[in-house]
A and B are shown apart, each in its own frame.
Chain A
Amino acid sequence: MKGPVLILGAGSDIARACARAFAARGCAIQLAARDPGRLEADRADLETRYGVTVSLHEVDALEVEAHESFVAGLPELPMVAICAVGLMGEQDENAADMTRAALVMRSNFEGPASLLGVLANRMEARGAGTLVGISSVAGERGRASNYIYGSAKAGFTAYLSGLRNRLAGRGVHVVTVLPGFVATKMTEGMDLPKPLLAQPDEVGRAILGAVEKGRDVIHVRRIWRLVMAVIKAIPEAIFKKTSI
């Protein structure tokens, strides 16, 4: 793999794991986040461990107007762009307060879609590149316990499949990642079943593999394919009475 890898939302645990997985392959890394000053230690880490070049960039996923100039300002158009931007919040609060709900929707759908959209256009013009969107199994079916987050992820998943369709045959590949539960800050303190809980470095390795092999949609742990197939198969009349 040649050319730099851009990581959007680089402060998260999954982002750190992705950066390490690609840097270990020798790729230059561009880390972008709202507060790039907090990424200094990550930059040092990638340079020290893997001897790759790392640059830091400022971007706010919600400032959609600034995305064109952000991408234009990168030292080089990346070969791979991974969007790890996201926000879960608390479902109860999201449901009670629509400004919070809007923030969750914009952080998981509008922002990531805009960033990847700008990159898609430029990669299409170049005729090469890979876009990776980290979505969620929560987008596969709306559930009472997190449908605000889930619906935004559903939108993002659909957007990614549309992009993939549009760019197929134009040299640009799109990967949708449905990680399931991952042991990160987002899930800390939740009591989650071990076989369903992936570690961030597993996600990093899975994404590297998907990019190298040109896969379209991946679950990090296979078991999620089965779990979601079952959940999606339940008829709505029954599903609405459950609390899954």
Chain B
Amino acid sequence: MTRLAGWGRFRPVETRLARMRDDGDVAAALAGGTALIARGNGRAYGDSAVSPGLTLDMRGMDRMLSFDADRGVLVAEAGVLLADVIAAFFPQGWFPAVTPGTKFVSLGGAIAADVHGKNHHVDGGFGAFVDWVEVMGADGRIARAEAGSELFDWTLGGMGLTGVILRAQIRLRPVETGWIVQDMRATQTLAATIDMMEATNDAPYSVAWLDCVTTGVMMGRGLAMLGRHAGLEDLPREKRRKPFATPQKPVLRLPVDLPAAALNGVTRRVFNAAYYWNGRRKPGPRLVDWDSYFYPLDAILDWNRGYGRAGFLQFQCALPQEAARPGMAALLEAIAASGEASVLSVLKRFGAERGRFSFPMAGYTLALDFPANDRSLKLMERLDAITLDHGGRFYLAKDARMPRAVMEAADGRVAAFRAMRAQSGAKGLFVSAQSERLGL
């Protein structure tokens, strides 16, 4: 038995962890009859990738099976990381079509959470670039679910609760260089931030960081970072000869848990202000390498230890387009009033909803992180209520604490998801600590 938690390190669960090396291992685990869940690289913040019974470590299935270099089509096992995909094919001019804010996620985890990137408003989620997945269901049989099929639609965003994803075929995006033309713009108010995102809706990548410490009229001021892949013509001559060369950065590691006090209210306040002013100083377009643009946090491995032993929590909700402005304002007001500033508050635009259980809906999403303590847990209850009032929903890949009633009130799709689980036999077998908590 091991104590295992998600990336936020909040409330570890006692589980038996077993490494899967091939289909046979998975079949044998399922035949055992113990409730189980697949785990990718453990980057979900909460308890979605730990089971009170058996947790299947899918990182042992990390083989790439074929690559069509003309079309950028990869077939690979679920345990392959996006970082592996980038290492293998980026030098040939291929990049993941959708990527979350860390490259250390597995294909299985990216599919199960149907992760979104900074381009959801243009391209949709990860699932939009998956041709098929092979899933081992409760009966131990392997089904190939093609895009558009019912099993496919439940599995994308299904958080491992439809079965174990073994393999998938995904499409990569061709790129000419390893650089992003980033356009940084500072805004003074929340309304201005959202206006800016609306006005730049055709930017391939967009994300805004919000200052959630400042109150009053400047509440919600932010830095919008728009981006597009640079073409060869965007590069200065000296970079053109090796367009995929990436500047080497030192990789740092947090060797110990910082005391929780290191990220207290004051340091978070200072951080917010400093980040804003630093960004404001260099507005306009400039070239940023792909790693710094997409994965700024990956430069410090194990940064999750920065919050101390108790761990930390993320809160991420999506609000429908029409409720986004008042909803975001209400969320920020509640945070500012609580004094619990988030270190990183990220606002993104979402395009149309897809899939039967995927998180995104047309509108806006806000992601926040808080150290785990009683005050922030209280605050998150407030944020839950505000989200519900505005017709929003919550991201399971970030959740570690939501009560069942909130999930049910937020997401009308829960009943159908439960029925599918009961009917397919998945209900009794594929169980995470999260699915138990939420009664999925």
Q: B-contacting residues of A (Cβ < 8 Å)?
A: 13, 38, 41-42, 44-45, 48-50, 185, 188
Contacts and interface: CB of A to CB of B under 8 A. Distances in A.
Contact of B67 (A13, A41, A48, A188): A48
* Chain B, interface SS category: strand
Interface string B150-188: 000000000000000000000000000000000000000
B22 A38 contact: yes
Given A48-B88, A49-B88, A41 B63 contact: yes
Contacts of B67: 48
Contacts of A13: 21, 60
B95 to A, nearest CB: 16
Contact of B63 (A44, A50, A185): A44
B309 interface: no
Interface centre among A13, A44, A50 (most CB of B within 10 A): A44
Given A41-B77, A44-B64, A48-B88, 14 more contacts: A13-B60, A38-B22, A42-B63, A44-B63, A45-B63, A45-B64, A48-B66, A48-B74, A48-B76, A49-B64, A49-B84, A49-B88, A185-B21, A188-B18
Contacts of A42: 63
Interface string B371-397: 000000000000000000000000000
Nearest to A42: B63
A50 B76 CA distance: 14
Contact of B65 (A38, A45, A50, A185): A45
A44 B88 contact: no
A42 B61 CA distance: 10
B144 interface: no
B268 interface: no
A48 B64 contact: yes
* Chain A, interface SS category: helix
B60 to A, nearest CB: 8
25 contacts: A13-B21, A13-B60, A38-B22, A41-B65, A41-B77, A42-B63, A44-B63, A44-B64, A44-B65, A44-B66, A45-B63, A45-B64, A48-B64, A48-B65, A48-B66, A48-B76, A48-B88, A49-B64, A49-B84, A49-B87, A49-B88, A185-B19, A185-B21, A188-B18, A188-B19
Contacts of A48: 64-67, 74, 76, 88
A41 B20 CA distance: 14
A64 B182 CA distance: 63
A119 B60 CA distance: 31
Nearest to B63: A45
Contacts of A188: 18-19
Interface string B86-100: 011000000000000
A13 B87 CA distance: 21
B19 A41 contact: no
Contacts of B84: 49
A40 to B, nearest CB: 9
Interface residues of B, number: 16
B57 to A, nearest CB: 9
B20 to A, nearest CB: 11
A237 to B, nearest CB: 38
B168 to A, nearest CB: 14
Nearest to B21: A185
A13 B79 CA distance: 14
A188 B60 CA distance: 12
Contacts of A45: 63-65
B262 to A, nearest CB: 23
Interface centre among B63, B65, B74, B88 (most CB of A within 10 A): B63
A13 B60 CA distance: 9
Interface centre among A38, A41, A50, A188 (most CB of B within 10 A): A41
A142 B372 CA distance: 48
A197 B19 CA distance: 16
Interface in B218-275: none
Contacts of B18: 188
A185 B21 CA distance: 9
Contacts of B88: 48-50
A90 B351 CA distance: 56
A47 to B, nearest CB: 9
Interface in B67-86: 67, 74, 76-77, 84
A44 B18 CA distance: 24
Interface in B91-143: none
Contacts of B65: 41, 44-45, 48
Interface in B1-58: 18-19, 21-22
A48 B84 CA distance: 11
A39 to B, nearest CB: 10
Contacts of A49: 64, 84, 87-88
Given A48-B88, A49-B88, A41 B22 contact: yes
Contacts of B87: 49
A188 B16 CA distance: 11
B249 to A, nearest CB: 20
Contacts of B66: 44, 48
Interface centre among B64, B74, B77, B84 (most CB of A within 10 A): B64
Contacts of B22: 38, 41
A42 B63 CA distance: 7
Contacts of A50: 88
Nearest to A200: B60
A219 B188 CA distance: 58
A41 B64 CA distance: 8
A42 B76 CA distance: 11
